[in-house]
A and B are shown apart, each in its own frame.
Chain A
Amino acid sequence: MSTEIGSILSEMESSACLKTELTLGLPGGGAAPSKPGSKRGFGDMADLKLGVGCDRGDEVSVSTPPPSKEQVVGWPPVRSYRKNMMKSCKYVKVAVDGAPYLRKVDLEMYSSYEQLLAALEEMFTCLAICDVMNERKIMDSANGIEYVPTYEDRDGDWMLVGDVPWNMFVETCKRVRLMKSSEAAIGLSPKTSSNGLSMN
Chain B
Amino acid sequence: MCMFQSVMNYFPEEVLDHVFDFLTSHRDRNAVSLVCKSWYSVERFSREKVFIGNCYAVNPERLIDRFPRLRSLSLKGKPHFADFNLVPHDWGGRVYPWIEAMAKSRINLEELRLKRMVVSDESLELLAKSFPNFKSLVLVSCEGFTTDGLAAIASNCKFLRELDLQENEVDDRKGHWLSCFPESCTSLVSLNFACLKGEVNVAALERLVARCRNLRSLRLNHTVPLEVLQKILVQAPQLNDLGTGSFTHDPNSETYVKLKNAMKNCHSIRSLSGFLDVNGRCLPAVYPICTSLTALNLSYAPGLFSNELAKLIYHCKKIERLWILDTIGDKGLGVVANTCKELQELRVFPSDLYGVGNAAVTEEGLVAISAGCPKLNSILYFCQQMTNAALITVAKNCPNFIRFRLCTLNPVVPDAATNQPLDEGFGAIVQSCKGLTRLSVSGQLTDQVFLYIGMYAEQLEMLSIAFAGDSDKGMLYVLNGCKKLKKLEIRDSPFGNMALLSDMGKYETMRSLWMSSCQVTLGACKTLAEKMPRLNVEIISENEGGAGEGEARLDDRDRVEKMYLYRTLVGPRTDAPDFVWTL
Q: Do A and B come from one complex?
A: yes
Chain A residues in contact with chain B, CB under 8 A? Answer: 1-2, 4-5, 8-9, 11-13, 16, 19-22, 24, 26-28, 32, 35-40, 42, 49-54, 66, 69-70, 72-83, 85-87, 89, 108, 111, 154-156, 166-167, 170-172, 193-194
Q: Using Cβ atoms and an 8 Å threshold, which residues of chain B touch A82?
A: 167, 299-300, 349
Q: Is B503 an interface residue (CB 8 A)?
A: no
Given A16-B306, A81-B168: A22 and B384 interface contact (C-beta under 8 Å)? yes
Select which of B195, B250, B559 is within 8 A of A193 by beta carbon: B250
8 closest cross-chain pairs (CB), A and B: A53-B357, A74-B84, A69-B355, A12-B307, A37-B494, A81-B167, A171-B303, A38-B494
**Would you give 6 A-B contacts (Cβ < 8 Å), ordered by A?**
A27-B413, A35-B494, A66-B355, A76-B407, A86-B353, A171-B303
Q: Using Cβ atoms and an 8 Å threshold, which residues of chain B touch A72?
A: 411
Q: How far is the CA of A86 from the CA of B303 in the complex (A)?
A: 10
**Interchain CB contact under 8 A, B167 and A12:** no
**Interchain CB contact under 8 A, A12 and B310:** yes
Binds A, one of B56-64, B101-109, B155-163, B332-340: B332-340
Distance in Å: Cβ of B166 to nearest Cβ of chain A: 9
Distance in Å: Cβ of B250 to nearest Cβ of chain A: 7
Per-residue interface assignment for chain B, residues 161 to 203, with 1 indicating a CB less than 8 Å from any chain A CB and 0 otherwise: 0000001110000000000000000000000000100000000
**Interchain CB contact under 8 A, A24 and B409:** yes
Q: Using Cβ atoms and an 8 Å threshold, which residues of chain A touch B339?
A: 5
Q: How far is the CA of A11 from the CA of B331 in the complex (A)?
A: 9
Binds A, one of B91-99, B273-281, B475-483: B273-281
Query: 12 new A-B pairs (CB below 8 Å) besides A16-B305, A72-B411, A82-B299?
Result: A5-B339, A8-B331, A12-B306, A16-B306, A19-B358, A22-B357, A40-B517, A54-B357, A77-B466, A85-B300, A86-B302, A155-B279
CB within 8 Å of A: which of B492-521?
492-494, 496, 517-519
Q: Using Cβ atoms and an 8 Å threshold, which residues of chain B touch A108?
A: 354, 356
**A interface, over-half SS:** loop
Q: How far is the CA of A26 from the CA of B385 in the complex (A)?
A: 11
Distance in Å: Cβ of A176 to nearest Cβ of chain B: 16
Per-residue interface assignment for chain B, residues 66 to 92, with 1 indicating a CB less than 8 Å from any chain A CB and 0 otherwise: 000000000000000101111000000
Q: Is B470 an interface residue (CB 8 A)?
A: yes
**B interface, over-half SS:** loop
Select which of A5, A53, A194 is within 8 A of B314 by beta carbon: A5
Q: Using Cβ atoms and an 8 Å threshold, which residues of chain A touch B344?
A: none
**Interchain CB contact under 8 A, A24 and B356:** no
Q: Using Cβ atoms and an 8 Å threshold, which residues of chain A touch B331?
A: 8, 11-12
Given A50-B409, A73-B85: A37 and B496 interface contact (C-beta under 8 Å)? yes
Given A9-B314, A19-B359, A154-B279: A26 and B413 interface contact (C-beta under 8 Å)? yes
Select which of B195, B471, B491 is within 8 A of A37 by beta carbon: B471
Q: Is B9 an interface residue (CB 8 A)?
A: no
Q: Using Cβ atoms and an 8 Å threshold, which residues of chain A touch B360?
A: 22, 51
Residues of B in contact (CB 8 Å), total 73
**Interchain CB contact under 8 A, A36 and B494:** yes
**Interchain CB contact under 8 A, B350 and A35:** no
Q: How far is the CA of A166 from the CA of B303 in the complex (A)?
A: 14
Distance in Å: Cβ of B420 to nearest Cβ of chain A: 11
Q: Using Cβ atoms and an 8 Å threshold, which residues of chain A touch B448?
A: none
Q: Using Cβ atoms and an 8 Å threshold, which residues of chain B touch A39?
A: 492, 494, 517-519, 559
Select which of A8, A12, A154 is within 8 A of B303 by beta carbon: A154
Q: Is B41 an interface residue (CB 8 A)?
A: no
Q: Is B414 an interface residue (CB 8 A)?
A: yes
**Interchain CB contact under 8 A, A75 and B517:** no
Q: Using Cβ atoms and an 8 Å threshold, which residues of chain A touch B411?
A: 42, 72, 75-76
Q: Is B298 an interface residue (CB 8 A)?
A: no
Select which of B195, B250, B310, B359 is within 8 A of A8 by beta carbon: B310
Q: Is B419 an interface residue (CB 8 A)?
A: yes
Residue of A nearest to B444 (CB): A32
Q: Using Cβ atoms and an 8 Å threshold, which residues of chain B touch A80?
A: 83-85, 169
Select which of A9, A54, A66, A194 is within 8 A of B310 by beta carbon: A9
**Interchain CB contact under 8 A, A24 and B310:** no
**Interchain CB contact under 8 A, B416 and A4:** no
Q: Using Cβ atoms and an 8 Å threshold, which residues of chain B touch A5?
A: 314, 335, 338-339
Residue of B nearest to A43 (CB): B412
Per-residue interface assignment for chain B, residues 556 to 579, with 1 indicating a CB less than 8 Å from any chain A CB and 0 otherwise: 000100000000000000000000
**Interchain CB contact under 8 A, A24 and B519:** no
Q: How far is the CA of A76 from the CA of B151 in the complex (A)?
A: 36
Residue of A nearest to B354 (CB): A108
Q: How far is the CA of A40 from the CA of B519 in the complex (A)?
A: 11
Distance in Å: Cβ of B149 to nearest Cβ of chain A: 18
Q: Is B467 an interface residue (CB 8 A)?
A: yes
**Interchain CB contact under 8 A, A51 and B357:** yes
Q: How far is the CA of A24 from the CA of B141 in the complex (A)?
A: 30
Q: How far is the CA of A9 from the CA of B350 in the complex (A)?
A: 22
Q: How far is the CA of A154 from the CA of B308 in the complex (A)?
A: 13
Distance in Å: Cβ of B466 to nearest Cβ of chain A: 7
Q: How far is the CA of A97 from the CA of B373 in the complex (A)?
A: 54
Per-residue interface assignment for chain B, residues 347 to 380, with 1 indicating a CB less than 8 Å from any chain A CB and 0 otherwise: 0011111111111100000000000000000000
Q: Is B382 an interface residue (CB 8 A)?
A: yes
**Interchain CB contact under 8 A, B351 and A86:** yes
Q: Using Cβ atoms and an 8 Å threshold, which residues of chain B touch A87?
A: 353-354
Given A39-B494, A89-B277: A79 and B355 interface contact (C-beta under 8 Å)? no
Q: How far is the CA of A69 from the CA of B86 in the complex (A)?
A: 17
Distance in Å: Cβ of A135 to nearest Cβ of chain B: 25
Distance in Å: Cβ of A136 to nearest Cβ of chain B: 21
Distance in Å: Cβ of A181 to nearest Cβ of chain B: 29
Select which of A20, A49, A66, A172 is within 8 A of B359 by beta carbon: A20
**Interchain CB contact under 8 A, B281 and A155:** yes
Q: Using Cβ atoms and an 8 Å threshold, which residues of chain B touch A36?
A: 470-471, 494
Q: Using Cβ atoms and an 8 Å threshold, which residues of chain B touch A171?
A: 302-303, 356
**Interchain CB contact under 8 A, B410 and A50:** yes
Q: Using Cβ atoms and an 8 Å threshold, which residues of chain A touch B492?
A: 39-40
Q: Using Cβ atoms and an 8 Å threshold, which residues of chain A touch B276?
A: 85
Q: Is B311 an interface residue (CB 8 A)?
A: yes
Q: Using Cβ atoms and an 8 Å threshold, which residues of chain B touch A40?
A: 492, 517
Q: Using Cβ atoms and an 8 Å threshold, which residues of chain B touch A85?
A: 276, 300
Q: How far is the CA of A11 from the CA of B335 in the complex (A)?
A: 12
Distance in Å: Cβ of A15 to nearest Cβ of chain B: 8
Select which of A50, A75, A89, A155 is within 8 A of B355 by beta carbon: A50
